[in-house]
C-alpha cells in the first residue's frame, strides 16, 4: 500500500509540474496553490499574477484565476456568478461519486450551509439569521472578550513565555462562539476538534479529509440536536435560542437550518479570528515601528485591524461559477460552466487600488479590503472578528511592549483557502 501511494503521489507531482510549466510558458506565471513554497508565502506569486496575467487561465484547476481588486469585486457583486454547485451540469456525476465512495450520505449532500446557497434560499436564510446575529449582540460581548483576553495574557505572563496561537488566538474565538451558542465549558475542546475537522474540506481535500469532515459534521449535528431540544423547552439568552426563535413574516428556520447555521458560525468564527490574531501579530512583530505605534496609541486599533486583514488575509481565496457567458471587458470572457477563483489576498495587494500595497501602515484610511468578501456573501461574522481583533492585538502590545519572535522558522497550515500559522512562539520581553 505504501509503495502504491508513493507511486501515485510521484505521478501526480509529475503531472502538476507539466501543467504548471505549460502555464508559465504561455503567460509568464504559474499558479499552483499546492506548492509548499506558495503556502509558506503566496505573495510573490500574487505580485507576478498582478503584473503579468491578472486574468489567468489555470490548467491545473480548470478555470480562471482573478487577482485584480476590481475584477474580484465585480464577480462577487454579479448575480450571474453562483456558489451552489448543484446547478452545475457535472453535479449528478459528483454526487454519484461521493455516494459510491461513501464520503457523504444523501442527507449530508442535501444539507447546505448558507455559505454555498444562492438566492432566493440565501436571501431568506440571511434575513432570518440577521435577526439573531445583530450588531448589538456582538457589541454586548465586548466586556467578556476583554476578560477572556486578559485572563489568557495573565497566564502567559506567569509562565514567562507564550505560543500566541495555542495560548490566545486558538482559545479566544472558541470560548466566545461557544458561549454565544450556549455550549457548556466542558465541551469546548471537543467543539474545537469538530471545527478543525469540518474545515478539512475547504480547498483541495482527500477522501480521508472528506470522511473526517463528514464524521465531525454528523457528531456536531447530534450534539446540537441535544442542545436544541433543551432550548426548545427552556429558551436562554444565547444565540442558539435566538436562531430557534428567529422569525420573519411567519417564516422560521427549520431545525436542519439551525444546525447548519450553528455549524457555520462555529467554523467561520473560529478559524478566521485565530488567523487574524496570528497573522496580524506576526506582521506587527516584523514591522517594529507599527508594533510600537499601536502600543503607543491604542486608538489606532480600528484602522490597525483593517490594515492587518488586508496585509495578510485570514481567507485567501474563494470561488464562483457561471451558467452563462459573462463578458468581463477587455476581451475577457468567462464561459458558461467555468469557475472563477478569486484571490482575495491578491486583490488586497493590487497597486491599482492601494498606494504602496506591500507597505504595512496601520494608519491607512482608504482600505476597502476584500478579506470578508463582498456582495451578498459578505461575512456574517465580520463584526465579531473585528471586535476580537481590536481587543486582542492592542492588549498583546500593551501587556508585552518588548515582545519579539522566538524564531523565524514558522510553519503555516496547508489549507489553500485559510491562511494561518500552526504556532507563533514569542519572547515576552
**3-class DSSP string for the chain:** CHHHHHHHHHHHHHHHHHHHHHHHHHHCCCCCCCCHHHHHCCHHHHHHHHHHCCEEEECCCCEEEECCHHHHHHHHCCCCEECCHHHCCCHHHHHHHHHHCCCCCHHHHHCCCHHHCCCCHHHHHHHHHHCCCCHHHHHCCHHHHHHHHHHHHHHHHHHCCEEHHHHHHCHHHHHHHHHHHCCCHHHHHHHHHHHHHHHHHCCCCCHHHHHHHHHHHHHHHHHHHHHHHHHHHCCCCCHHHHHHHCEECCEECCHHHHHHHHHHHHHHHHHHHHHHHHHHHHHHHCCHHHHHHHHHCHHHHHHHHHHHHHHCCCECCEEEEECCCEEEECCEEECCCCEEEECHHHHCCCCCCCCCCCCCCCCCCCCCCCCCCCHHHCCCCHHHHHHHHHHHHHHHHHHCCCCEECCCCCCECCCCCECCECCCEEECC
Whether the CB-CB separation of 377 and 115 falls below 8 Å is answered with yes
pLDDT of 64 reads 96
CA-CA-CA-CA torsion sign (176, 261, 87, 219): positive
List the domain range (segments joined by +) for residue 125.
62-427
Q: Does residue 21 lie in a domain region?
A: no
Angle between helices 301-311 and 288-296 (to 10 degrees): 160
Residue 7 has pLDDT above 70, yes or no: no
Q: Does residue 5 lie in a domain region?
A: no
Say if strands 332-334 and 55-58 run parallel, antiparallel, or are unpaired.
unpaired
Q: Does residue 22 lie in a domain region?
A: no
Rounded to an integer, the average pLDDT of 29-37 is: 89
Q: Express each pLDDT in 128-173 by its tens digit.
A: 888 777 888 889 999 999 999 999 999 999 998 899 999 999 999 9
Q: Does residue 336 lie in a domain region?
A: yes
Tracing cell 442535501 back to the chain, one arrives at 110
Tracing cell 499574477 back to the chain, one arrives at 49
- Sorting pLDDT into bands at 50, 70 and 90, what band is 203? low
Residue 19 has pLDDT above 90, yes or no: no
Residue 351 has pLDDT above 70, yes or no: yes
Q: Does residue 257 lie in a domain region?
A: yes
Rounded to an integer, the average pLDDT of 233-239 is: 86
The pair phi, psi for residue 329, each rounded to 5°, is: 85, 165
Rounded to an integer, the average pLDDT of 297-318 is: 97
**Residue 60: count of CB within 10 angstroms of its CB:** 17
Structurally, how many domains does the chain consist of? 1
Residue 268 has pLDDT above 90, yes or no: no
For the entire predicted model, the pTM comes to 0.89
Q: Express each pLDDT in 316-343 by its tens digit.
A: 999 999 999 999 998 899 999 999 999 9
CA–CA separation, 232 and 88 (whole Å): 38
CATH number, domain of 283, equals 1.10.630.10
Residue 53 has pLDDT above 80, yes or no: yes
The reply to whether omega before 74 is within 30° of 0 (cis) is no
Q: Does residue 143 lie in a domain region?
A: yes
Say if strands 55-58 and 251-252 run parallel, antiparallel, or are unpaired.
unpaired
- Sorting pLDDT into bands at 50, 70 and 90, what band is 399? very high
Q: Does residue 388 lie in a domain region?
A: yes
Q: Does residue 384 lie in a domain region?
A: yes
Q: Which three cell numbers stand for residue 169?
A: 488566538
Of residues 114 and 351, the one with the higher pLDDT is 351
Amino acid at each position: 500500500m505504501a509503495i502504491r501511494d508513493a507511486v501515485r503521489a510521484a505521478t501526480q507531482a509529475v503531472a502538476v509540474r507539466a501543467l504548471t510549466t505549460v502555464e508559465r510558458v504561455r503567460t509568464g506565471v504559474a499558479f499552483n496553490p499546492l506548492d509548499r513554497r506558495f503556502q509558506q508565502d503566496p505573495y510573490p506569486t500574487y505580485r507576478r499574477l498582478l503584473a503579468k496575467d491578472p486574468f489567468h487561465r489555470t490548467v491545473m484547476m480548470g478555470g480562471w484565476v482573478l487577482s485584480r481588486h476590481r475584477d474580484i469585486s465585480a464577480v462577487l457583486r454579479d448575480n450571474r456568478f453562483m456558489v451552489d454547485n448543484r446547478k452545475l451540469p457535472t453535479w449528478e456525476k459528483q454526487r454519484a461519486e461521493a455516494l459510491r465512495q461513501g464520503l457523504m450520505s444523501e442527507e449530508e449532500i442535501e444539507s447546505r450551509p448558507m455559505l454555498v446557497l444562492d438566492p432566493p434560499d440565501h436571501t431568506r436564510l440571511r434575513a432570518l439569521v440577521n435577526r439573531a446575529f445583530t450588531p448589538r449582540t456582538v457589541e454586548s460581548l465586548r466586556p467578556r472578550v476583554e476578560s477572556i483576553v486578559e485572563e489568557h495574557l495573565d497566564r502567559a505572563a506567569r509562565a514567562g513565555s507564550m505560543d500566541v496561537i495555542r495560548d490566545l488566538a486558538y482559545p479566544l474565538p472558541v470560548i466566545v462562539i461557544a458561549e454565544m451558542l450556549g455550549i457548556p465549558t466542558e465541551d469546548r475542546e471537543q467543539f474545537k476538534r469538530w471545527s478543525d475537522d469540518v474545515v478539512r474540506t475547504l480547498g483541495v481535500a482527500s477522501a480521508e479529509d472528506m470522511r473526517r469532515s463528514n464524521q465531525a459534521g454528523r457528531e456536531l449535528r447530534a450534539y446540537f440536536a441535544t442542545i436544541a431540544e433543551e432550548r426548545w423547552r427552556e429558551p436562554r439568552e444565547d444565540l442558539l435560542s435566538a436562531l430557534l426563535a428567529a422569525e420573519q413574516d411567519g417564516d422560521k428556520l427549520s431545525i436542519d437550518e439551525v444546525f447548519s447555521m450553528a455549524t457555520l458560525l462555529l467554523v467561520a468564527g473560529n478559524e478566521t479570528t485565530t488567523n487574524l490574531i496570528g497573522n496580524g501579530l506576526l506582521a506587527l512583530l516584523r514591522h517594529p515601528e507599527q508594533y510600537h505605534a499601536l502600543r503607543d496609541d491604542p486608538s489606532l486599533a480600528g484602522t490597525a485591524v483593517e490594515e492587518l486583514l488586508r496585509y495578510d488575509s485570514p481567507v485567501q481565496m474563494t470561488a464562483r461559477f457561471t451558467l452563462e457567458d459573462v463578458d468581463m471587458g477587455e476581451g475577457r470572457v468567462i464561459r458558461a460552466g467555468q469557475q472563477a477563483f478569486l484571490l482575495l489576498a491578491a486583490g488586497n495587494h493590487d497597486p491599482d487600488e492601494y498606494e504602496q500595497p506591500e507597505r504595512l501602515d496601520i494608519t491607512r484610511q482608504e482600505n476597502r479590503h476584500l478579506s470578508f468578501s463582498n456582495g451578498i456573501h459578505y461575512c456574517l461574522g465580520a463584526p465579531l472578528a473585528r471586535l476580537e481583533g481590536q481587543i486582542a492585538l492592542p492588549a498583546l502590545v500593551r501587556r508585552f511592549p518588548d515582545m519579539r519572535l522566538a524564531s523565524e522558522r514558522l510553519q503555516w497550515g496547508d489549507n489553500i483557502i485559510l491562511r494561518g500559522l500552526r504556532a507563533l512562539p514569542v519572547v515576552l520581553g
